[in-house]
Amino acid sequence: WLSYLLLFILDLVICLIACLGLAKRSKCLLASMLCCGALSLLLSWASLAADGAAAVATSDFCVAPDTFILNVTEGQISPEVTRYYLYCSQSGSSPFQQTLTTFQRALTTMQIQVAGLLQFAVPLFSTAETCLQSSSC
């Protein structure tokens, strides 16, 4: 709406200067205001075209938002993830479930290995026992 306000102010200034040109009977001022008025008219038409395009784009979203979102995110996000978050079905499994399970198993394995290393290292490095068992020394 700010662009419309600025365009309206520009039109108002052009009209006021054109009135001043009429009052002074200045051909140069009237000719320049005619050019500015034509430019302002072109800007108004461009603004109207942009609004029309925005209205068409948003109407696609309003008619079928699910299809619109699937089409927009097609190349960026996998359709399974998009459908999972669009429809929020409780029956289907999360598309991230297999990856999360794999990471959880890997973390458990790492935890077991670190515990084994601690059992091995604490008797060898008894002076550093507190450092080995805590994250700060």
Does 108 score more than 90 pLDDT?
A: yes
Whether the Cβ atoms of residue 4 and residue 50 lie closer than 8 Å to each other: no
pLDDT at 135: 66
Q: What tokens appear for 119 in the block?
A: 């059992």
In angstroms and rounded to an integer, the radius of gyration of the C-alpha atoms of the chain is 34
Percent of the chain predicted with pLDDT > 90: 11
Report how far residue 41's alpha carbon sits from residue 11's, in angstroms, rounded to the nearest whole number: 9
For residue 118, the one-letter residue type is L
pLDDT at 24: 81
pLDDT at 110: 96
* Band of residue 136 on the pLDDT scale cut at 50, 70, 90: low
